[in-house]
Amino acid sequence: MEIKNKNGKGSHLKNMIIKCLYFDKAMSCAELSELFDKSIPSIAKAVNELIEEGFVIEQGYAPSSGGRRPLMYAINASAMYILAIAMDQLATRIQLVDLQNHPVADMEMFELKLLHNDQALDQLVDKINAYLAESGIPKDKIAGIGIGMPGFVNPIRGVNYTYLDSGDKTLAQYIADETGLPTYIDNDSSLIALAEQKFGIAKSQKEVMVINLGWGIGLGMIVNGEIFRGRNGFAGEFSHIPLSEDGAMCTCGKRGCLEAEASMLVVSKQAIEGIQKGRVTSLKQIDEAHSKQMGDAIMEAANNGDQFAIELFADAGHKIGKALAILIHIMNPQAIVLSGRGAKVGKILLAPIQQSLHKYCIPRLARGTVLLISELGFDAELVGAAVLVMENFDKEVKGQAVNS
């Protein structure tokens, strides 16, 4: 979507203002003028046009600072909507949100296995189109689709090298063509980090490592205030830090990776094995094919004081802490945020993680890094998917279907 001038031509300045107000809530014309290095009259003209078009509203006057109070402007939350999609290896969530990231339609969550599933992409597109149709919101009111997904993702090219083969087209192009909406994709952990930086507990911090505690253990890296992706875009493969030479076999084909030792899938499998061996626990018997249900159940049990569940997370926490010690030695971050699905048991994980940091990390470095638990939690990836669309809002959309 591109905001048009009265002469029909796209207004890059107006798109920039909309994007800015999405992230910064309310600003004056003077603040926008300084930010964009544009004259106040040109900013005021663009803002007034956006008010006429329904994208911007007057927020009232700023608090008095001794002089004339400036009039503040904010985004009209219902001017446009964003389709946010959060995927993991086993399930996908779809949520339509407004420009304040508030839901405007019920979230839909459905099973979608990505590994060894040639139909996964078509199934995803069908679900997206059905969700859009059921929402009743016209496509010209939707700014775009943002999708977070596991795997080796190049967000600039719109390609996932691990999952969802789209043939001759890029994945983003394929979904855009099939839905009629501009589509942006990124790695799930990078989007979780983006959400924490823009709207979460790491807001405005410059050096932050965001741990995505899910079926795997991902990492989103904020370096100098920006998402750090590395040379090929694949930086942050925290899951595959080797913890031992003879540990469990990982999906990557190597032994002893953090993911194979401490991920939510591993904790779920350990819980199932423990129940089968007669461990005393409030958890009920469940077969390994339903590890997802066990993952949710074990977190709830741990938070309710189940000793077996707490032991499993304590063991996982020690291993995660050992890996974090390596990360701290390399990156020296100001904060590490525990986010994603596993943030629900963040308080239980904190103590064993901290113990491992005391054991494996140089004290001077450990003291300089604060451990934080996400307030966005499981919603972080959905928020990040919405942010992804607005991050690209003032950029030219190339080769994608755009409704204006």
Kindly report, residue by residue over 341-359, the tens digit of the pLDDT. 999 999 999 999 999 999 9
Q: Which residues face 35 on adjacent strands?
A: none
Among 3.30.70.20, 3.40.50.720, 3.30.420.40, 3.40.50.300, name the CATH number for the domain at 204-375.
3.30.420.40
Every domain range in the chain assigned CATH 1.10.10.10? 12-75
CATH assignment of 81-191+382-391? 3.30.420.40
CA angle at 384 for the pair 378 and 388, rounded to the nearest 5°: 160
* pLDDT, position 356: 96
Every domain range in the chain assigned CATH 3.30.420.40? 81-191+382-391, 204-375
% of the chain residues with pLDDT over 70: 93
* pLDDT, position 81: 97
* pLDDT, position 179: 97
Contact assessment for residue 169 and residue 306, using Cβ atoms and an 8 Å cutoff: no
382 vs 67, residue with greater confidence: 382
DSSP sequence for 165-199: --TTS-HHHHHHHHHTS-EEEEEHHHHHHHHHHHH
CB count within 10 Å of CB 386 equals 31
Q: Which three-class secondary structure state does DSSP give residue 254? A: coil
Among 3.30.70.260, 3.40.1180.10, 3.40.50.1100, 1.10.10.10, name the CATH number for the domain at 12-75.
1.10.10.10
**Sequence-distant (≥ 6) Cβ neighbours of residue 309 within 8 angstroms:** 271, 281, 282, 283, 298, 299, 301, 302
Interatomic CA distance for residues 347 and 241, integer angstroms:
23
Q: Which residues face 142 on adjacent strands?
A: 81
Q: Which two tokens stand for residue 132?
A: 């859009």
The answer to whether residue 2 scores a pLDDT higher than 80 is no
The answer to whether residue 276 scores a pLDDT higher than 50 is yes
**Mean pLDDT, all residues of the chain:** 90
**Sequence-distant (≥ 6) Cβ neighbours of residue 255 within 8 angstroms:** 242, 244, 245, 246, 247, 248, 249
Q: Residue written as tokens 């599933």?
A: 117
pLDDT tens digits for range 72-122: 999 999 999 999 999 998 899 999 999 999 999 999 999 999 999 999 999
